[in-house]
Structure 1
Amino acid sequence: MKKLIANLSTREKRYACIENGRITKLEIEPPKSAGSVGNIYLGKVTKVLPGMEAAFIDYGEKKSGFLYRDELPSYQEAKRKGTQKSSISQYIREGEKLLVQVTRDEAGTKGAKLTGLIELSSNHVVYIHGIDYVGVSKKFKSSESQNQWRSMVLTHKKADEGLIIRTAMEEMSEAVFLKQLETQRENYAQLLKKATSLKKPTLVSRRDSFFESILTEMSQAPSGELYVDDFTCFQELKKWQQDHGSGWEIFYEAGPVNIFSHLGIESEAEQALKKFVWLKNGSYLIFEETEAFTVVDVNTGKFTGKAEKEQTLFETNMQAAKEIAHQLRLRNIGGIILIDFINMKQVQHHHAIVEMLKTETKQDEMRVQLLGFTELGIFQLTRKRTSASLSEKLTMACPMCLGTGKVDSAETVAFRLERELMEHRKRDEEAVLIETNEAVSTILFGEQDAYKPVLEEMLHKEIVVMIVKGHDHRYEIKRFGTKAELMKVRENLLT
């Protein structure tokens, strides 16, 4: 049975999806990084790029968004008429204003991906303005029912409207569909009206994608349990349950303890940010996310196996394949993913790994494409990215290593300090005050300060050292002056 735990009582919103006693999905939305996917803006074209068939759009945020030619209603209209031309310059120009919607949040140095094909959705119908399209859920019980709905929709839609019929609509009547269609048309008209009254790029309509994602999770299963700690949201969810005749049970948890801790999943949720993931047999995975792609390294770790080497490696890789599929969904890792499985010699073992990944990724709501093994034995796959991963949302680059995972050694810093001191050897002052930690000082001056007199003679100055605590290998040349002055300065700084 599917279970949802929604922690909504604080500013940072969270929910966890639990299946078979394990977290399969974790959504977290800090207040400053609330996703903008689905938000609708008035945008202004700042630059047209014919060579890429795309344009940069100022939509009121810090970074401009990116919009491709195929996402323009004017291009789609020309395509319907068979008069389309290849250059985006035929359909959009600098300074032009248009309604745009975010389809993918900005990530790293990349701006958000935008579309001019505005999508408005409900639990039954998705309405898209600017494209001629009809889609019917593949989860309908029969192809006959799909065809009947497709034919009916075609009789009511306009040429510039795209409509997607969701699974929940299968048992509904044509009258319900027409009512929802008219509501969506009115909503779009209101958006246009609001946009025309605005003078500069800005937000027109904000989508509460976090609350919607909870409803989507509930819509995907006929029944389940939802625990929520915010009473207002509890009431809204109960209303949704009654309006849709849902079989979900909804519980309000008002206890003093954090609902994740109370229901025993806080520690498991925290593991989703760890670099290392241990497998049951003692082997482990290492996740390295970069802006271009994500690398997953498989290691045998403590697992030595009881059979021959090839079988041991195969068993490790099979466990790893299953866990990697789970972790990609849990961590919401998208884009290009490279997996360095432990090298196996037998071809059938490679096929088994691929089949395991196929089976496990079928449970993922995001589109996953398996591209296979390279000549070097690296497995390639892609996972659709619509929002930032958990680590992008919740972590920042270390201010010391700037995200590299490495910092300068004490030796590097000590010899850098020595070179900089040498640059000041012609100054007239009697002494110099430096600040650094114990490790750098030991390297610079040697054991028991044996090299200090030699360095002072080369500098023609005495060196006054202020030792600061910590493992931070850095230094600062504080000031020059007489030894007495600098000793007093050091004393004041240390007290």
Structure 2
Amino acid sequence: MSEEILINVTPRETRVGVIENGMLQEVYVERASRRGYVGNIYKGRVQRVMPGMQAVFVDIGLERAAFLHAADILRPPLPEDAEPPPGGAHAMAIGELVQEGQEIIVQVVKDPIGSKGARLSTHLSIPSRYLVLLPHSRTLGVSARIEDEAERARLKEVMAALVGEDPLGYIVRTNAEGQSAEALAFDVTYLGKVWRVVQENIARARVGERVYEELSLPLRCLRDLLNEDIEKVRVDSHETFDKALKFVRKFMPSLADRIELYEGERPIFDLYGAEDEIQRALTKQVPLKSGGYLIIDQTEAMTTIDVNTGGYVGSRNLEETVYRTNLEAAQAAARQLRLRNLGGIIIIDFIDMTDEEHRRQVLRTLEKGLARDHAKTTVYPMSPLGLVEMTRKRTTESLERQLCEPCPACGGRGTVKTAETVTYEIFREITRAVRQFSAQALLVLASPKVVGRILEEESAAVAELEEFIAKSIRFQAEEHYAQEQFDVVLL
């Protein structure tokens, strides 16, 4: 599988695209006006303790107070001779862990999404290329994605020798598979230096100040995504190219030759049709090669994906047609989840299949498609109705929520009232206004389409209404009015 990373930099926006086999699979966007907060560490102050929710709101200097649940709060170590509380340390009430007004060091684990504030944790973690530092833990773990038992044992042995009596904990990342003891030792030293700087920042920081900032998007993607499978990293900015090259030479010198300055005439995201793919990822319908299609609906509660055969009629029988469509849909759905960065609860409505083996194969295809996803996914068995429930870890807003806003005409509903409906609302409003206030005549301001309908198809109704209220009504079309917008003015 050929893989490339494209980095597009403009003065106020940076975009990173991950290309696999010539197709855009993931896209990350970071804007100067709205940089993400995930990974940043702050000195905060507890604003409100909510025992009923076992949580607190914390002021960390952002627009909205951030949310910290009891499960994400580091438990104080028990004295050696003390008995653990009934139910274990995790059973401690929120009021025993933190108090209102208390200063607290927290890390953002989920960006503010919609109307919700950022999600916090006091279990701090600082990632490097191959390791994650856990400053408040003595854990020494290895990523579950490294499945080879011999390699897991080797990595644990290397880390145990490097760490020795170090009171800090570490998790070995998937990227560390096959890496030498020297490479891991470099990361241990680097993380030790970073943690010392963070401690110094904590000591002098005021409430609401950031004490550790996650890397910028290009460097973060290089740290997390660059490996032997990536053939090239193309960067279209001299300044970002220099920073990327310096970063890679320091942390992954063997891959430095993969970083390339892109100076082509075509915009970098026009390569492999990445720009077109982003535009298509903002639409609800996803066409399948067979003629079928997916309909993707993102709501506050969950995301639903509906599979339809469309124009695909197959060549054998109905069951075979449905099976082929569902197989293609499973691959397409897995890709769209990554591309659109959809998270939370996801329901995929496959077309009903009677063959149990077909159902198993479709589920297996979906799981295989999700195997390369960097976000944690959990897929549950297919229900009798052909529904697959799954979850995908969400830490940032989806691509649509980052790039779009609710339509001002429909308020995000996706539909607007018809001109006929608005016409009858205007008639009701005229009747209401005349009963409440005295007026010689009335002026109605509305969109051209609504006014046109009233003057043509509803002219008889207007005459009846004028006779009923004993007042004249004048209609005026306003070009800038949305279809549902109108004003009744008393003259």
TM-score normalised to the size of structure 1?
0.89
Gaps spanning 5+ residues in structure 1: where?
A: 482-495
1:110 aligned residue: 116
1:239-254 to structure 2, matched below 5 A, reads 239-243=246-250, 244-247=252-255, 248-254=257-263
Q: Is the 8 A contact 1:124 1:165 kept in 2?
A: yes
2:23 aligned residue: 22
Flag the 1:180–1:354 CA change in 2: closer, same or farther, 3 A.
closer
2:242 aligned residue: 235
1:474 aligned residue: 484
Provide, for residues 326-377 of structure 1, a one-character-per-residue CA deviation record: whole Å limited to 9, x for no partner. 1111111111100111112222221111111121111111111111223433
For residue 129 of structure 1, report the CA deviation from its aligned partner. Answer: 1.7
For residue 309 of structure 1, report the CA deviation from its aligned partner. Answer: 0.9
Flag the 1:470–1:55 CA change in 2: closer, same or farther, 3 A.
closer
Provide, for residues 188-224 of structure 1, a one-character-per-residue CA deviation record: whole Å limited to 9, x for no partner. 3432333343443232332224123321354333551
Alpha-carbon distance between aligned partners in 2 of 1:132 and 1:273, rounded to the nearest angstrom:
44
Q: Is the 8 A contact 1:18 1:24 kept in 2?
A: yes
For the pair 1:302 / 2:311, whether they are aligned, the reply is yes
For the pair 1:34 / 2:43, whether they are aligned, the reply is no
Flag the 1:256–1:468 CA change in 2: closer, same or farther, 3 A.
same
AA aligned to 2:239 is: T
Alpha-carbon distance between aligned partners in 2 of 1:328 and 1:111, rounded to the nearest angstrom:
23
AA aligned to 1:107 is: I
For residue 290 of structure 1, report the CA deviation from its aligned partner. Answer: 1.0
For residue 95 of structure 1, report the CA deviation from its aligned partner. Answer: 0.7
What SS is found at the alignment partner of 1:303? coil
Q: Is the 8 A contact 1:354 1:372 kept in 2?
A: yes
What SS is found at the alignment partner of 1:101? strand
Selected match of 2:405 from 396, 400, 414: 396
Deviates more, 1:61-70 or 1:445-454: 445-454
Alpha-carbon distance between aligned partners in 2 of 1:76 and 1:288, rounded to the nearest angstrom:
44
Provide, for residues 267-311 of structure 1, a one-character-per-residue CA deviation record: whole Å limited to 9, x for no partner. 123222121100001100011011211000111111111111111
Q: Is the 8 A contact 2:151 2:178 kept in 1?
A: no
Flag the 1:218–1:154 CA change in 2: closer, same or farther, 3 A.
closer
Selected match of 1:206 from 195, 208, 213: 213
Alpha-carbon distance between aligned partners in 2 of 1:28 and 1:136, rounded to the nearest angstrom:
30
Selected match of 1:462 from 466, 472, 485: 472
Alpha-carbon distance between aligned partners in 2 of 1:300 and 1:264, rounded to the nearest angstrom:
26
Q: Is the 8 A contact 1:105 1:387 kept in 2?
A: yes
AA aligned to 1:323 is: A
Provide, for residues 69-101 of structure 1, a one-character-per-residue CA deviation record: whole Å limited to 9, x for no partner. 24333x053499873352122221111111111
Q: Is the 8 A contact 1:43 1:100 kept in 2?
A: yes
Flag the 1:217–1:124 CA change in 2: closer, same or farther, 3 A.
closer
For the pair 1:11 / 2:19, whether they are aligned, the reply is no
Provide, for residues 34-90 of structure 1, a one-character-per-residue CA deviation record: whole Å limited to 9, x for no partner. 2111111111111223343322211111222222224333x0534998733521222
2:322 aligned residue: 313
What SS is found at the alignment partner of 1:246? helix
Flag the 1:79–1:148 CA change in 2: closer, same or farther, 3 A.
farther
Deviates more, 1:289-298 or 1:269-278: 269-278
Flag the 1:340–1:212 CA change in 2: closer, same or farther, 3 A.
same
Gaps spanning 5+ residues in structure 2: where?
A: none
1:376-455 to structure 2, matched below 5 A, reads 376-425=385-434, 427-441=437-451, 443-444=453-454, 447=457, 449-455=459-465
What SS is found at the alignment partner of 2:220? helix
Q: Is the 8 A contact 1:38 1:209 kept in 2?
A: no
What SS is found at the alignment partner of 2:359? helix
2:106 aligned residue: 100
Deviates more, 1:129-138 or 1:381-390: 129-138
Selected match of 1:135 from 135, 138, 141: 141
Structure 1's consecutive aligned runs of 4 or more residues displaced over 6 angstroms after TM superposition are 79-82
Q: Is the 8 A contact 1:437 1:473 kept in 2?
A: yes
Alpha-carbon distance between aligned partners in 1 of 2:378 and 2:316, rounded to the nearest angstrom:
33
AA aligned to 1:309 is: L
Flag the 1:17–1:133 CA change in 2: closer, same or farther, 3 A.
same
1:96-175 to structure 2, matched below 5 A, reads 96-137=102-143, 139=146, 142-153=151-162, 155-158=164-167, 161-166=168-173, 167-168=175-176, 171-173=179-181
Q: Is the 8 A contact 2:22 2:272 kept in 1?
A: no
Flag the 1:329–1:20 CA change in 2: closer, same or farther, 3 A.
same
Q: Is the 8 A contact 1:145 1:170 kept in 2?
A: no
TM-score normalised to the size of structure 2?
0.89
Provide, for residues 369-403 of structure 1, a one-character-per-residue CA deviation record: whole Å limited to 9, x for no partner. 11122343311011111211111111111112111
AA aligned to 1:40 is: I
2:77 aligned residue: 77
Aligned-pair identity in percent equals 30
Alpha-carbon distance between aligned partners in 2 of 1:356 and 1:461, rounded to the nearest angstrom:
69
Alpha-carbon distance between aligned partners in 2 of 1:118 and 1:428, rounded to the nearest angstrom:
67
Flag the 1:432–1:211 CA change in 2: closer, same or farther, 3 A.
same
Flag the 1:302–1:169 CA change in 2: closer, same or farther, 3 A.
closer
Q: Is the 8 A contact 1:283 1:299 kept in 2?
A: yes
2:45 aligned residue: 44
Alpha-carbon distance between aligned partners in 2 of 1:368 and 1:475, rounded to the nearest angstrom:
43
Q: Is the 8 A contact 1:33 1:393 kept in 2?
A: no
- How many residues matched? 477
Q: Is the 8 A contact 2:294 2:306 kept in 1?
A: yes
AA aligned to 2:425 is: R
Provide, for residues 157-212 of structure 1, a one-character-per-residue CA deviation record: whole Å limited to 9, x for no partner. 31xx32123444854446x7566445434433432333343443232332224123
